[in-house]
Amino acid sequence: MAGPVFDQVLIGGRWVPAAGGTYPVVNPATEEIAGHAPACSVAQAEAAASAARDAFERGPWRTMSGGERAALLRTAAERFQGEMDGLVELTIAETGERSAPSPRRSRSAPSRAGCCAPPSWPPRHSSKACRRARPAAPSRPVL
């Protein structure tokens, strides 16, 4: 199985070639190459972190209401759910799991793990809860 080749990294909203090319991702169960991942440089990782901090400081997310953030998170969750089958296959290949998880497990695992909320999360009436849960801005940059 040749698998997908991901050879770019996202820095500051632009996809750029990974400085180190790619490296093989090996399925530990079969020892076959499941795909290739981008090998970014330390400088690229630092540039991505800096761009993310800059986007947070100057972008709209910081000033959005809880309801606006919730709407964007719902959209992201819906898009993630639309890619779920392909992501499950990639995860199986890169982790060496020999069979696909049960439908019940694959639907519920992402929301339990916190990596993907179902489209109904957060509830539309949660803006007050979002305001209470919003963390204070850090007093110094977080890298």
Torsion, Cα 123 127 131 133, to 10 degrees, reads: 0
Question: 12-34, pLDDT tens digit by residue?
Answer: 999 999 999 999 999 998 899 99
Q: What is the pTM of this model?
A: 0.61
Model confidence at 92, in pLDDT bands (50, 70, 90)? confident
What gap in Å lies between CA 127 and CA 124, rounded to an integer? 7
CA distances from 30 to 1, 26, 94 (A): 10, 8, 10
Reference 36, options 49, 51, 17; nearest CA is 17
What gap in Å lies between CA 43 and CA 49, rounded to an integer? 10
Question: 38-79, pLDDT tens digit by residue?
Answer: 999 999 999 999 999 999 999 999 899 999 999 999 999 999
